[in-house]
Amino acid sequence: MLPLLLALCLMVSFTCIIDYFLFKWLLVGFQPLFMAPVAFLLADESFVVGRTGMLIHYHTRHTQEGLREFLVGNGAKQFEALLPYYRHVISRTLVLSAWRWLLVGLVVLFALCVVWLAGTLSWAVVLWLLSGLLASVVFCSVVTLLLSAFLYDRLNK
């Protein structure tokens, strides 16, 4: 759990800083207080994806340890021997998380459409905000998952 929390804190703070500058560039009068919902959304999605992925990674590492030993025994470096595990974790977790990200996108689109109907934003800004937020959620979730799996393997050498 420690690798997941460490990776989560690192990636959410990094992605929030990037999103803050992106949103400040897109919206005139954007306040830092408006980043709180974005940070909570990123943290929630990244934690759910990271927890699911770490459970899959932990189970796969303990049930198929022979694959890593075989690859290391045949001359592969430690990181090269762990690449099949990382690929497996990413593919399984992305399949499980795709529907969750679709629902997040629909909720964010609905909220931005309400803001558009209120006359605050134009359609172009709404679409930029939606695509930027969804891209940051996917980026933060996937990198958090990879970083936490890598830290788990480094700490359990």
What does the pLDDT profile of the chain (157 residues) look like in tens digits?
788 888 888 888 898 888 888 888 877 777 778 788 888 888 888 898 888 888 888 888 888 878 878 888 888 888 888 888 888 888 888 888 888 878 877 887 787 778 778 777 777 777 777 788 888 888 988 899 889 888 888 887 6
Q: Residue 29 has what pLDDT?
A: 73
CB 6 within 8 A of CB 101: no
Q: What local confidence, expressed as pLDDT, does residue 133 receive?
A: 82
pLDDT the model gives residue 98? 82
pLDDT of residue 27: 76
Longest dimension (CA), the chain: 64
Q: What is the pLDDT of residue 50?
A: 87
Question: What is the predicted pLDDT for the residue at 154?
Answer: 85
Question: So what's the pLDDT on residue 1?
Answer: 76
What pLDDT is stored for residue 79 in this prediction?
82
- Quote the pTM value: 0.79
Is residue 31 classed as helix, strand or coil in its secondary structure?
Answer: coil
One-character DSSP codes across 52-119: HHHHHHHHHHHH-HHHHHHHHHTT--HHHHHHHHHHHHHHHHHHHHHHHHHHHHHHHHHHHHHHHHTT
* C-alpha distances out from residue 11 to 65, 78, 117, 122, 155, Å: 29, 25, 33, 30, 19
Q: What is the pLDDT, as a whole number, of residue 36?
A: 84
